[in-house]
Amino acid sequence: MRLLIIGGGISGLSLAYFLLERDSTLDIIVLESEKRAGGKIWTDRMDGFLCESGVNGFLDNRPRTLELTAKLGLFPLRSSETARKRYIFSERRLHLLPESPSAFFSSNLLSLYGRLRIIYEIFIPKGNQDDETLANFARRRLGREAYEKLIDPMASGVYAGDPETMSLRSCFPRIYELEKRYGSLIKAMLKLQKEAKKTGKKVGPGPGGILTSFHDGMEVIITALRKYLAERLRTSSRVISIDRKANNYLVYLSDNSKVEAESVVIATPAHVASEIVKNFDKNLSLALDGIFYPSISVVCLGFKKEKIRQPDGFGFLVPHREGRKILGTLWDSSVFPNRAPEGYVLFRSMLGGARASELAMQDGNRLITIVMDELRNIMDIKAQPDFVKVYRHEVGIPQYSVGHVKRLETIDEVVSRHAGLYLTGNSYRGIGVNDCIENSYILSERITGK
């Protein structure tokens, strides 16, 4: 059977791997529009600095990703112990994010009232909305201050999103399920910790796990998959449309060529998939086009250690209420080794996102100036950088807004009418590397029946 995978990001590449693992006789072709595969996983080595254009790691709490890396002969690298220290910029200073109940109560990140309001969460009745915004959920359960200083920057850090439109159920399904099951996050934690004492497993409302990458950056896994697939991966091959011919699909490329296959998997971002199926199924195209992708930029800055006060930790996030122009900054050289030459540090700042998409697409020099102004105010950095690299992503992270669950139901129902057509990728059920790999594994099982 010939199967075409449109899109050579981590979803498409890992799907091809899992399909071949289940059935080595499959005739698989992966078509990638760009010259290089990998999508938002893109690592550059320049002047001794290692820069990630987008994805900088994955959490080691999902076995499927670790199993895949092991089969590819890769050696994952856990982030440093200092990376456990994370900061929130609030009221003109950096606050260490509390890691324990005792640290939470002694921290001055939240006012006394804000801390007491979180404890009161145990008495808040269960919500009755099936699809609630993250902002409404956080204010209802934890109070306004906790929402503005804790939950809001978390949403920016993970999704570059706007909590006022983000769907709790789609973006943070575990937290959604905990309230549904236990009625309270505190009650859920107490019961889960009780169960954990019996099993020895660590529990929490968040995803857990330790941030993990590779010594030479995240593109290592893309390189390994590319070598495994060899001639099955075709880069610079942009698909513009698909059509049906009897029991097969015709896939048309921008160079006027076409490929015929019995099955097609579209593993591109939703907005690209929408264009590909526009003339094939208008209802599917419209549903896919409704998934919003804001622009986001990443500015990498390298400094000599002697020029600045060296940070200790993962980095910091900035609540929207602070009115700053960056979403946050990661201290990459403190998180993983091999990110900066000896005697230097590397920072990576993010701008744009759902609330300021237009900011991300400004001129590169303007973005550098904005980040330097922000770091001067936040970290008291007055020195000029010794290294700079800017990545601008006009189409960034897909936003799972309220209504995303129903949108997926519509997409699934329409796709089910077309035998042999499948969709996968981070537009639908999880934006992270782990989600993409897990969903590809599940889809490979569904396609092959093995």
Checking if the pLDDT of 199 tops 70, the result is no
Q: How many domains does the chain have?
A: 3
For residues 347-359, average pLDDT: 97
Residues 388 and 410 in one domain: no
pLDDT: which is higher, 400 or 206: 400
Least confident of 39-53, 56-70, 182-196: 182-196
**What is residue 206's predicted lDDT score, i.e. its pLDDT?**
57
Instruction: Decide if pLDDT at 433 tops 60.
Output: yes
Q: Could you tell me the pLDDT band of residue 200, with boundaries at 50, 70 and 90?
A: low
Q: What pLDDT band is residue 100 in, cutting at 50, 70 and 90?
A: confident
- Averaged over 287-297, what is the pLDDT? 97
Q: Per-residue pLDDT averaged across 426-447, rounded?
A: 97
274 and 406 belong to one structural domain: yes
Pair 407, 269 in one domain: yes
Q: Is the pLDDT of residue 205 over 70?
A: no
- Same domain for 119 and 194, yes or no, is yes
Percent of the chain with pLDDT over 70: 98
Q: Are residues 282 and 404 in the same domain?
A: yes
d(CA 162, CA 133): 9
Given 358, 376, 393, the domain boundary residue is 393
Q: Which of 349, 370, 393 is a domain's end point?
A: 393
In eight-state DSSP terms, residue 346 is E
**Rounded mean pLDDT, 166-174:** 97
Which CATH number goes with the domain that contains 173?
1.10.3110.10
CATH of the domain at 431: 3.50.50.60
Alpha-carbon gap, residue 107 to 313, rounded angstroms? 17
202 falls in which pLDDT band (50, 70, 90)? low
Q: What is the dihedral of CA 160, 166, 167, 173, to 10 degrees?
A: 30
In a domain, 105, yes or no: no
Query: What's the pLDDT tens digit per position in 105-130?
Result: 889 999 999 999 999 999 999 998 99
User: Does 311 share its domain with 364?
Assistant: yes
In a domain, 208, yes or no: no
What angle in degrees, to the nearest 10, is found between the helix axes of 173-182 and 185-199?
A: 100
- If asked whether residues 237 and 254 sit together in one domain, one would say yes
Q: How confident is residue 201, by pLDDT bands cut at 50, 70 and 90?
A: low
Residue 52 lies in a domain: no
Q: Is residue 374 domain-resident?
A: yes
Check residue 43 and give its pLDDT.
97
Does residue 80 fall inside a structural domain? no
Q: Where are the alpha helices (DSSP H) in 143-276?
A: 144-146, 152-159, 168-171, 173-182, 185-199, 219-229, 270-276
Task: For residue 388, give its domain range.
Answer: 294-393
In a domain, 388, yes or no: yes
